[in-house]
């Protein structure tokens, strides 16, 4: 199993201010999320990793999550389960297979694998 990237995700009432801390205050580049009205969130890339900041909403409760991108999410899930960690999933979303767990202290953690793009064909 190989870790391919780390993502830090925050959903907050102060999402705009948090995003501005990184983009304006620290001068980090922001990914263009493509228009829309108002501020909904920000993605700040860092190599193969990134920071995600989203505005609190009915379907986006306030919280923090560490997202670990791996080459084999099923293997990580099997290891975690063997070691007594309560693992939820998998689910597929945004082209990824995703599992969820909660670390000691209550930190939400996901580990996910980018799925291969469909190849098409007849």
CA proximity to 54, closest of 71, 70, 36: 36
Mean pLDDT of the chain: 90
pLDDT by residue (tens digit) across 45-95? 988 899 999 999 888 889 999 999 999 999 999 999 999 999 999 999 989
> Could you tell me the CATH number of the domain that includes residue 22?
3.10.180.10
Is 84 inside any structural domain?
Answer: yes
- CA distances from residue 88 to 6, 73, 82, 112 in whole angstroms, order as listed: 19, 12, 14, 12
Bridge-based pairing state of the strands 108-114 and 96-102: antiparallel
pLDDT at 116: 84
Q: Domain containing 70: what range?
A: 3-114
Q: What is the pLDDT of residue 32?
A: 82
Cα distance between residue 82 and residue 76, in whole Å: 10
Number of separate domains in the chain: 1
Residue pair 55/49 in contact (Cβ under 8 Å)? The answer is: no
Would you say residue 119 lies in a domain?
no
**Residue 122 has what pLDDT?**
45
Does residue 121 fall inside a structural domain?
no
- What's the mean pLDDT in 101-121? 84
pLDDT on residue 33: 80
């Amino acid at each position: 199993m190989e870790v391919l990237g780390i993502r830090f995700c925050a959903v907050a009432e102060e999402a705009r201010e948090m995003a501005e801390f990184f983009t304006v205050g620290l001068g980090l580049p922001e990914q263009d999320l493509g228009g829309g009205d108002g501020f909904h969130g920000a993605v700040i890339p860092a190599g193969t990793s990134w920071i995600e900041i989203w505005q609190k909403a009915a379907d986006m409760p306030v919280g923090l999550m560490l997202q670990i991108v791996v080459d084999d999410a099923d293997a990580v899930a099997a290891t975690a389960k063997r070691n007594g960690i309560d693992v939820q999933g998998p689910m597929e979303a945004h082209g990824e297979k995703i599992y969820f767990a909660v670390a000691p202290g209550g930190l939400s953690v996901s580990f996910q694998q980018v799925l291969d793009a469909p190849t098409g064909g007849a």
